[in-house]
Amino acid sequence: MKQYHIPVEATLDVIGGKWKVVILCHLKKGTKRTSELKRLMPNITQKMLTQQLRELEDDGIIQRKVYNQVPPKVEYSLTDYGSSLNTILDDLCTWGECHLEKNNSTSMLITIED
Amino acid sequence: MKQYHIPVEATLDVIGGKWKVVILCHLKKGTKRTSELKRLMPNITQKMLTQQLRELEDDGIIQRKVYNQVPPKVEYSLTDYGSSLNTILDDLCTWGECHLEKNNSTSMLITIED
DNA sequence: CGGTATCCTTCCTGATACTG
DNA sequence: CAGTATCAGGAAGGATACCG
């Protein structure tokens, strides 16, 4: 069993992956299909997207719903437990916005509209 | 210039390093010497500790104070700007505590007393 | 459309030695 | 004490091709 030295390490184990916070920020706004997530994160590879989604699912943060149809359709959404991260996710987003403003670098931001 | 797709990526660029949140959680409780940080994080290597501290310093999150004496003494502390992360750090810690409790895994936690 | 498998690069670790 | 340097090995992440 894994051993931590301070509790925050447990949080990082769950949301510390390179793309997990970004994925959760998108899912916080609502259910998304795999292809939607991919489009919202142009720089993520298919492999990493699947991998990070699986780990979040295994930790009970997100829910995976498969529609048995052709072509396939898979939807991801936050679980109730995952929603307990909403405050943190909001604060992380807000801090990022302020950080960008502070550096007069709003031009650094490209927002892909939903 | 770096391009982001959503603001939270800017936050992750600053505190997304493998050990940065843990370091910041320790510094939030007060100024620490290098050796203290090393003791609080037994699993971090000297190299990574120095590296993560440098990056945090470059981003204006922490302050490095060198005392010109023998043996050398170096102290690290949060800057005012770094303190703007305090709420986030607290929430991350709290969530980790709840997560550990939920999994009935308080035994997973080893706290090294200051 | 969603996911796997393979290969490759980069980052991180561990150990050790060395400097001011 | 704090930091740098080196090098080997492992883990995490990325690029590409392929499958149902």
Q: What is the pLDDT of residues B21-52, one digit of tens each?
A: 999 999 999 999 999 999 999 999 999 999 99
Answer whether any strand C atom is within 7 A of the Cβ of B11: no
User: Is residue A25 a contact partner of residue A89, using CB atoms and an 8 Å limit?
Assistant: yes
Mutation choice for B interface testing from A2, A11, A32 by most B CBs within 10 A: A11
User: Is residue B48 a contact partner of residue B19, using CB atoms and an 8 Å limit?
Assistant: yes
Among partner residues A11, A85, A111, which is closest to B5 by beta-carbon distance? A111
- pLDDT attached to residue A108: 56
What is the nearest CA distance from A69 to chain B, expressed in angstroms?
Answer: 32
Q: What is the pLDDT of residues B68-113, one digit of tens each?
A: 888 899 999 999 999 999 999 999 999 999 999 887 655 555 554 4
CB within 7 A of nucleic chain D: A 17-19, 43-48, 71-72; B 33-35, 38, 46-47, 49-50, 53, 64, 71-74
Say whether pLDDT at A97 is over 90: yes
Rounded to the nearest 5 degrees, what angle is found at the Cα of A4, between the Cα atoms of A3 and A10?
115
Q: How far apart are CA B24 and CA B22, in angstroms?
A: 5
Chain B residues closer than 8 Å to A88 by CB:
88, 91-92, 95
Question: Does B93 sit within 8 Å of A7, measured CB to CB?
Answer: yes
Handedness of CA A35, A41, A43, A48 (dihedral sign): negative
Query: Tokens 């999150």, residue?
Result: B61
Say whether pLDDT at B2 is over 90: no
Q: What is the pLDDT of residues A6-63, one digit of tens each?
A: 999 999 999 999 999 999 999 999 999 999 999 999 999 999 999 999 999 999 999 9
Q: CB-based contact (8 Å) between B9 and chain A?
A: yes
Pick the residue from chain A with its C-alpha nearest to B112: A5
Handedness of CA B14, B18, B20, B21 (dihedral sign): positive
The pLDDT confidence band at residue A104, using thresholds 50, 70 and 90, is low
What backbone torsions phi and psi does residue B34 show, to the nearest 5 degrees? -55, -45
Question: Does B99 sit within 8 Å of A5, measured CB to CB?
Answer: no
What backbone torsions phi and psi does residue B62 show, to the nearest 5 degrees? -125, 165
Q: In three state form, how does the secondary structure of chain B look?
A: CCCECCCHHHHHHHHCCCCHHHHHHHHHCCCEEHHHHHHHCCCCCHHHHHHHHHHHHHCCCEEEEEECCCCCEEEEEECHHHHCCHHHHHHHHHHHHHHHHHCCCHHHECCCCC
The pLDDT confidence band at residue A70, using thresholds 50, 70 and 90, is confident
